[in-house]
Amino acid sequence: MHKFTAWAPYAKNMAVKIGDALYPMTGPDERGWWNASVEVAVHGTDYAFVLNDDATPYPDPRGLWQAHGVHGPSRVYDHAAFVWNDSRWQGPPLSGSVIYEMHVGTFTPAGTFDAAIERLPYLFELGITHIELMPVAEFSGKFGWGYDGVGLFAVKELYGGPDGLKRFVDACHSRRLAVLMDVVYNHFGPVGNYATKFGPYFTHRHNTPWGDAVNFEEAGSDEVRRFFCDNALMWMRDYHVDGLRLDAVHEFMDRSAIHFMEQLSAEVEILSTTLERELVLIAESDLNDPKVVRPREAGGYGMDAQWSDDFHHALFTILNVEVEGKAYYADFGSFEKLAKALTNVFVYDGVYSRYRRHTHGRPVYGLSAHHFIGFIQNHDQVGNRAKGDRLEHVVGIDRAKIAAGIVLMSPFIPLIFQGEEFASSSPFQYFADQDDPEMATAVREGRKREFAAFGWDPDEIPGPDEAATFERSKLKWDEVHEGSHGEMLEWFRQLIHLRRHSPSLNDGDLSHLKVKFDEEKQWLTIARGQVLVLCNLGAEAVTLENPENFPLALASRGDVEVTGDKVLLPSNSIAILSVEKP
């Protein structure tokens, strides 16, 4: 027997459909819930809901298994049927983590959880502590980034379904790797979204880039908030995931006294205490508002960390003059901005933004740098380039090494995008298989308009719905140890090893960090306790000071010279000096 429940305040009558049989549901109660207990329904039974006089059977908005895709029936799934082996698991703290962002479909040729398991020893040996999965909730089509999910409680069947994700998490924990997962709570995908047949999941009062906003504050919003909170808790409780990354929280339109993020943070804290293991929430936010990561007790939303786009933009624009003055990069492009990002987190912290044409952000006071994630590549910053070309393709290996050095020596929690560590030759392009031809055309044309602001030729943009776009984005594992790929991999390995074993590099106090730079000669130094980082992005060699006579720990090139209190730094090179060399 299985008990079915559904929130469907729009329904006047409702039934569970199994095969050709209909089983009436009782309800609705005062909040709009329906339920039915069906004797024949067990683990593996396919079912759907029939509402009112509509003969069309719809999948369960909370369905745990969509074995037939987003348009087909849901399937009963019993979480208790899986046998775990991680009962003693305690993940590493987020503050000392090195995060690796992974897209399951392109990480391996097979594109499945089981295939990814085979590569876990490689990630552990590299020094990774946390794997962050791009969204794996069920979405329409055979391939995609995952940000257009509609079956938010179900795991993409092509990746391996619910058991596949559990096998992956279990295998990660056995290899001392924590798992974070990207979730999308700001919209549903445009194809296969049947939740709106059941209740008011959206509101016309607010608009987002995807249309109407999720209903976090109006009639029915208690149950909508419950939908997303239950989803978050499910991943951490039933799939043993160690934390979530919340996509684009600036598109949460919520004027409630208790913001949705605050509610979610409080509920996750209770679950963490109950499970006796650390659970974390990471936000992607465009607000430049430290309130996102301030503790609830201090009036914040209680997120544990957030992505730092200002740091990326400031670093990318001094590495790559191609983007100077284009779109949001117009607000960056100087060593001064990069220095501010390193010392103050937000470059735009209550100052006027030329790109936005208004004052943006507020200062970060009294917060550890470990509340912020630093990166030079991620799925957005690579995949939202016209051709999905990676940093090394754009600026060359020497500058890519400098970028990696700055990210991994910065005070922020570092994030590496899959393949970045070996300068993968594969691009990471935007791909999205569409069931609907009109939707495919709309996406393709929308991408062309979006890229016009960057001056890219629209005819060079790969078709998102073409299988070739997806296939060429897969990592090529046979190149990992070859030539410049092997050289970059060893560079990353050494940087990660130094970071994870150096007390100075694990200090999140921003007041302990000092930055110097020369805009004209294009050099920058970062002093972090017993570690000194020296970077030269200029066309000529420079001699920089080493006042504490620190010995050389790492250098991106063999012709770096350290003599007493002086360091000769060739063009496009980085040197890391430390008495804490492990």
What's the rounded Cα separation, in Å, for the pair 431 and 444? 10
The answer to the question of whether 315 is labelled as a binding residue is no
The answer to the question of whether 384 is labelled as a binding residue is yes
Nearest to 7 by CA among 47, 25, 34: 34
Could you identify the residue written with the tokens 């930055």? 515
Evaluate whether 535 touches 406 at the Cβ level (below 8 Å): yes
The burial of 379, by beta-carbon neighbours within 10 Å (0-12 exposed, 13-18 middle, 19 or more buried), is given as: buried
The answer to the question of whether 83 is labelled as a binding residue is no
Alpha-carbon distance values, 422 to 387, 416, 485, 491, 493 (Å): 19, 11, 5, 9, 10
- Secondary structure of residue 152 in the 3-state scheme: strand
The answer to the question of whether 501 is labelled as a binding residue is no
Phi, psi of 383 (to 5 degrees): -65, -20
| Beta-carbon contacts of residue 85 (< 8 Å; ≥ 6 apart) | 170, 173, 174
The answer to the question of whether 370 is labelled as a binding residue is no
The DSSP code sequence of 244-311 is EEES-GGG----SSS-HHHHHHHHHHHHHHHHTS--EEEE--SS--GGGTS-GGGTS---SEEE-HHH
Evaluate whether 452 touches 381 at the Cβ level (below 8 Å): no
The answer to the question of whether 249 is labelled as a binding residue is yes
What's the rounded Cα separation, in Å, for the pair 46 and 43? 9
Helix (H) or strand (E) holding 486: helix 483-501
The answer to the question of whether 246 is labelled as a binding residue is yes
Q: What are the catalytic residues?
A: 247, 284
What's the rounded Cα separation, in Å, for the pair 150 and 156? 11
Could you identify the residue written with the tokens 């049989």? 21
Percent of residues in the chain assigned helix, strand, coil, to nearest 5: 35, 25, 45
The answer to the question of whether 383 is labelled as a binding residue is yes
3-state SS, one letter per residue, for 544-555: EECCCCCCEEEE
Query: How many Cβ atoms sit within 10 Å of the Cβ of residue 53?
Result: 7
As given in the structure block, the two tokens for residue 91 are 């993940």
- Secondary structure of residue 102 in the 3-state scheme: strand
The answer to the question of whether 338 is labelled as a binding residue is no
The answer to the question of whether 248 is labelled as a binding residue is yes
The answer to the question of whether 380 is labelled as a binding residue is yes
The answer to the question of whether 22 is labelled as a binding residue is no
The answer to the question of whether 237 is labelled as a binding residue is no
| Helix axes of 397-409 and 483-501: crossing angle, nearest 10 degrees | 10
The answer to the question of whether 507 is labelled as a binding residue is no
Phi, psi of 203 (to 5 degrees): -130, 140
The answer to the question of whether 379 is labelled as a binding residue is yes
Alpha-carbon distance values, 435 to 173, 189, 510 (Å): 36, 12, 49
Residue type, 548: E
- Secondary structure of residue 454 in the 3-state scheme: coil
The DSSP code sequence of 327-392 is GGGGG--SHHHHHHHHHHS-S-SSEEETTTTEEE-----S--GGGEEE-S--HHHHHTSTT---HH
- Secondary structure of residue 108 in the 3-state scheme: coil
User: Known binding site for substrate: residues?
Assistant: 245-250, 309-313, 379-384
User: Known binding site: residues?
Assistant: 245-250, 309-313, 379-384
